[in-house]
Amino acid sequence: LHSIDDLESIEVDAIIQKIPELLNCQLSSDDDCTKRFDAFLRVNPNVICIDPPNNVRLLLWRHEQFLLIEKAMKSSDLADRICVPPFCTLDLKDPAINVKRMHAASLKFPLICKPLSSHGDERAHSALVCMPLRSYNESVKSFNLTFVFQMALLFNKEGLEQISYPTLVQQFWNHDGALFKVAVIGDKTFVVMRPSIKNLEMADNRKPLFFNSHTASKFNRDGPLGDLKNDKDLDRFQTFCDGPLFVKVAALLRQTFGIDLFGFDVIRLTKGESSVERTGPEWAIVDLNYFPSYDKIPHFYHHLENLVREKLSLPLLPDPPSEDC
């Protein structure tokens, strides 16, 4: 479906939603489309929604999102294994206040600046998928929304003069240019390795490096961000992939946010850089997104259908052979 109004004319048992207006932080609460969708769910409490709008909204702002992740990790038995890099929000271009906030958050250069919104405002299209009991609607394949994340790497205090405010600044930890992207579909967890930002260090005379987050996950040995050339360069990191840990983290995040379709990015910290990294957790969560593309996930539609079947208390389809990291 492509309109909220269409819901009134059909029999609906379950909805898989990825509504751009809901993911737009500026529109999420006030937009007419989201209001009508919220109203539909209120007057149809028996309709299963994957995922509930109020739960999805918990992910929209990075600061609040990181606070929830940080709290969940610290209160779990995973606290000594995985964490969230230190962060803080800088509201205005005020050097004195910003330096004080960064010091209070134990931030040191280099830093990575991220938009306050965790989901961009540029989107390809809107889609609703309704799942009657009697059929599985393959139009779910139309889900492919593009988000644009503009970020920056700061190497010194002077860089704070060249960025836009407000912004979230987070500690950049070296991780040898390898990123573990974890995709979650209900209780199913999948890991895909991608290149990331190469190891960096503080530099007094280096200007900020502005980039799109999509660029950071592409191979580019000669570029300013990464030094991995191809998949073979990532092979040496496969042995570090901690599948059991990622499954536990996925379950904890699923419980914390009350959602079933999401992805999170994990890095493995380079050893020997600071006292924090030597004595603290080996892993860090650096991003969390609602309903990622799933383009590299095997049998995605099979697992999505089983998620809906589980929600509707229907028999599950047999799982295909697993593909562990």
Binding residues for ATP: 62, 114, 170-181, 196
Binding residues for Mg(2+): 265, 287, 289
Q: Mind giving me the DSSP string for 10-59?
A: S--SEEEEE-HHHH-TTTTTT-HHHHHHHHHHHH-TTSEEES-HHHHGGG
| 82-83 vs 283-290, strand pairing mode | parallel
- What are the tokens at 218? 């592409």
User: Residue 79 has what DSSP assignment?
Assistant: T
Binding residues: 62, 114, 125, 170-181, 196, 265, 287, 289, 293
Count CB-CB contacts under 10 A for residue 22.
23
| Coil vs helix vs strand at 278 | helix
Q: 3-state SS of the chain: helix, strand, coil percent to 5?
A: 35, 20, 45
Q: Mind giving me the DSSP string for 81-99?
A: TEE---EEEE-SS-HHHHH
Place of tokens 């609040």: 64
Binding residues for 1D-myo-inositol 1,3,4-trisphosphate: 125, 181, 289, 293
